């Protein structure tokens, strides 16, 4: 169980931590509690209890629609594990996918670390599976495919960053407010160099979902692929592919039947494509397991939930799977619905964003997109996935150029490079999901006066109704981006704010609505 993972708590509980919004502590020891209580209102619900603390349901005071999960972790109980927690937060900051739980910010004082995370009201996938089994029901193959597709997307993105989750199981998959699956708990996650394997000398993970090599202390990104195969079996058949009362018996069971046979009656209702994908995941040899991004191209998904993407002859150039490139391309042509049209407004917004958007506005919009509901940006999400033909959760220069050209627009490589440099707020040379949404979202359609004010308060953590170098820097740091005073001064100078000046709400609104003044109507 990861440091950030909490055991669900059904009863509503009240204690001092939970009533953080009613406390007005003084001194450095309670600074984090004081700061977080300015922004969030805590009710009477404890979402979970863990070894190191509790997780509370809270509400953004400036946007009642935004509910968050706040994890209050005791530094005393964490001890030396505080470094492990910091590593987990680094991973969460780096990852950006609709199917990975969102990390918002961190507060800290002498006693506690407060992690503000996305609230997932739908509970665990484990509960959904249990409810099905209690009623002697199983997931229909279409239902299973839709769930697995979301998880493959999440894992493909995680692996594209050189990270292995290492503990994929139904308890570590939550259901978000719009039914979207969210991979959580990166407490056991590990960074890997490409094709690297790590001999840690001990078993890490949950035995039923553990790859055979992991029982022996060998770890790599491929352990996640085995876990997905086990989960796929559970969804399709209602049982594990291998059984054992102990880790030793479980491993023996795997080696006794190295190739899954699908002999039980329940598998007769599962398509050959479904069984083929399971077989490619549950390979004893890690190198033979189908990679997550290649699995998304499998014909099984075409039948039940086709991927819409742009046609490109070079989409598989970076595949690390053992499958031959022509085989993958063949699978892709069978499994993917191709669409050669990218919304011209999306391209126009990307160009506008790269040409005239200030650094401060870019920072603000990257904060905004984390608070927007999936329904509001569903069209842009589909557009992102169309361009992301390699299914990594990132758009590189070649993918973007192909996307723009597919829309019938001639573009030079240097123009594409300029767009990526401008949109890429994290500075990794590629466009991630949130950056794409921030650059292409229609301000006219989603901005209300209330939403702009709520965004303003994201930076005004001191609740002084103006933005200064100090509180902008603090807000950026809590969101995981360290920035110097000089950089902030430069950002503000783009809006004619003097070195020792400040930004009030009216000025902030002017900045956010810049380039859109002629068309926008405040609702």
- The boundaries of every CATH 3.30.200.20 domain in the chain are 7-118
What is the tens place of the pLDDT at every residue in 152-199?
999 999 999 999 999 999 999 999 988 899 999 999 999 987 667 666
Confidence grade of residue 333 (pLDDT, cut at 50, 70, 90): very low
Confidence grade of residue 267 (pLDDT, cut at 50, 70, 90): very high
**Residue 121 corresponds to which tokens in the numbers above?**
């009201």
Tell me what pLDDT residue 494 has.
87
Give the closest residue to 208 by CA, choosing from 158, 246, 164: 246
Q: What share of the chain is helix, strand, coil (3-state, %, to 5)?
A: 50, 15, 40
User: With left for phi above 0 and alpha for psi between -120 and 50, is residue 56 left, alpha or beta?
Assistant: beta
Give the pLDDT mean for 358-373: 87
Give the pLDDT mean for 251-266: 91
**Residue 325 corresponds to which tokens in the numbers above?**
């490139």
Q: Which fold has domain 344-512?
A: Recoverin; domain 1 (1.10.238)
- The boundaries of every CATH 1.10.510.10 domain in the chain are 125-305
For residues 349, 353, 355 and 357, what is the CA-based torsion angle, rounded to 10 degrees?
140
Q: Around 307, how many Cα atoms within 13 Å sit in the side-chain half-sphere?
A: 32
Residue 518 has pLDDT above 50, yes or no: no
Residue among 96, 109, 167, 224 flagged as catalytic: 167
Confidence grade of residue 386 (pLDDT, cut at 50, 70, 90): very high
> What stretches of 166-298 show up as alpha helix (H) in DSSP?
212-215, 222-237, 247-256, 272-281, 292-295
* Dist. CA 125–CA 498, nearest whole Å: 52
Residue 124 has pLDDT above 60, yes or no: yes
Homologous superfamily (CATH) of 7-118 is Phosphorylase Kinase; domain 1 (3.30.200.20)
Contact call for residues 157 and 393 (beta carbons, < 8 A): yes
For residues 184, 307, 388 and 482, what is the CA-based torsion angle, rounded to 10 degrees?
-20
Please give the residue that has the higher pLDDT: either 495 or 323: 495
Residue 141 has pLDDT above 60, yes or no: yes
Confidence grade of residue 311 (pLDDT, cut at 50, 70, 90): low
Indicate the average pLDDT of the chain: 84
Q: Which fold has domain 125-305?
A: Transferase(Phosphotransferase); domain 1 (1.10.510)
* Dist. CA 482–CA 462, nearest whole Å: 18
Contact call for residues 9 and 47 (beta carbons, < 8 A): yes
Q: Around 370, how many Cα atoms within 13 Å sit in the side-chain half-sphere?
A: 24
166's enclosing H/E stretch is none
147-167 b/e (C-beta count within 10 Å ≥ 16 → b): bbbbbbbbbbbbbbbebbbbb
Tell me what pLDDT residue 5 has.
55
Instruction: Provide the annotated binding site for ATP.
Output: 71
What is the tens place of the pLDDT at every residue in 46-68?
999 989 999 999 999 998 889 99
* Neighbour count for residue 408 (Cβ, 10 Å): 11
Confidence grade of residue 4 (pLDDT, cut at 50, 70, 90): low
What is the tens place of the pLDDT at every residue in 187-238?
999 998 766 766 666 778 889 999 999 998 888 999 999 999 999 999 999 9
Active site residue 167: yes
Confidence grade of residue 298 (pLDDT, cut at 50, 70, 90): very high
- Residue 164 dihedral angles phi and psi, to the nearest 5°: -110, 135
Contact call for residues 292 and 236 (beta carbons, < 8 A): no
* Dist. CA 116–CA 119, nearest whole Å: 9
Instruction: Provide the annotated binding site.
Output: 71
- The boundaries of every CATH 1.10.238.10 domain in the chain are 344-512
What is the tens place of the pLDDT at every residue in 397-438?
999 999 998 888 888 999 999 999 999 887 789 999 999 999
Give me the count of residues in the chain. Answer: 523
* Dist. CA 258–CA 254, nearest whole Å: 6
């Amino acid at each position: 169980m990861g440091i950030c993972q909490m055991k669900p708590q059904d009863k509503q509980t009240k204690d001092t931590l939970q009533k953080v919004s009613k406390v007005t502590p003084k001194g450095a020891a309670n600074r984090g509690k004081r700061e977080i209580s300015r922004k969030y209102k805590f009710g009477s619900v404890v979402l979970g209890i863990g070894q190191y603390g509790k997780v509370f349901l809270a509400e953004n005071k400036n946007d009642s629609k935004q509910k968050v999960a706040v994890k209050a972790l005791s530094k005393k109980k964490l001890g030396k594990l505080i470094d492990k927690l910091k590593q987990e937060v680094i991973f969460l900051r780096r990852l950006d996918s609709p199917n990975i739980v969102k990390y918002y910010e961190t507060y800290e004082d002498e006693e506690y670390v407060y992690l503000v995370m996305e609230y997932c009201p739908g509970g665990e996938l484990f509960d959904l599976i249990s409810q099905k089994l209690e009623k002697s029901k199983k997931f229909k193959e279409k239902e299973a495919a839709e769930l697995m597709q979301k998880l493959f997307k999440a894992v493909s993105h995680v692996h594209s960053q050189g990270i292995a989750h290492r503990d994929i199981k139904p308890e570590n998959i939550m259901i978000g407010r719009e039914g979207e699956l969210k991979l959580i708990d990166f407490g056991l996650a590990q960074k890997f160099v490409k094709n690297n394997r790590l001999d840690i000398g001990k078993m890490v993970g949950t035995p039923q979902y553990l790859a055979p090599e992991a029982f022996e202390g060998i770890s790599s990104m491929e352990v996640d692929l085995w876990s997905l195969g086990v989960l796929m079996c559970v969804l399709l058949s209602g049982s594990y592919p291998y059984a054992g009362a102990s880790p030793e018996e479980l491993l023996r069971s795997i080696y006794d039947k190295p190739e899954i046979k699908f002999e039980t009656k329940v598998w007769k209702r599962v398509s050959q494509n479904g069984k083929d994908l399971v077989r490619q995941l549950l390979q004893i040899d890690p190198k033979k397991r189908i990679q997550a991004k290649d699995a998304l191209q499998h014909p099984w998904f075409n039948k039940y939930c086709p991927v819409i993407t742009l046609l490109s002859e070079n989409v598989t150039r970076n595949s690390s799977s053992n499958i031959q490139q022509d085989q993958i391309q063949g699978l892709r042509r069978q499994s993917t619905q191709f669409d050669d049209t990218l919304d011209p407004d999306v391209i126009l917004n990307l160009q506008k964003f790269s040409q005239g958007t200030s650094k401060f506005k870019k920072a603000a919009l990257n904060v905004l997109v984390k608070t927007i509901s999936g329904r509001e940006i569903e069209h842009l999400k589909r557009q992102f996935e169309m361009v992301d033909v390699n299914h990594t959760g990132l758009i590189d220069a070649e993918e973007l150029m192909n996307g723009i050209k597919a829309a019938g627009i001639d573009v030079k490589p240097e123009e594409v490079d300029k767009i990526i440099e401008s949109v890429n707020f994290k500075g990794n040379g590629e466009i991630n999901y949130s950056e794409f949404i921030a650059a292409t979202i229609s301000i006219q359609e989603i901005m209300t006066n209330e939403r702009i004010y709520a965004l303003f308060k994201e930076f005004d953590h001191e609740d002084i109704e103006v933005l200064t170098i100090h509180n902008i820097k603090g807000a950026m740091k809590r969101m995981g981006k360290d920035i110097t005073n000089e950089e902030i001064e430069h950002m503000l100078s783009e809006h004619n704010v003097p070195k020792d000046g400040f930004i009030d709400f009216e000025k902030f609104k002017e900045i956010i609505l810049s380039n859109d003044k002629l068309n926008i109507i405040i609702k």
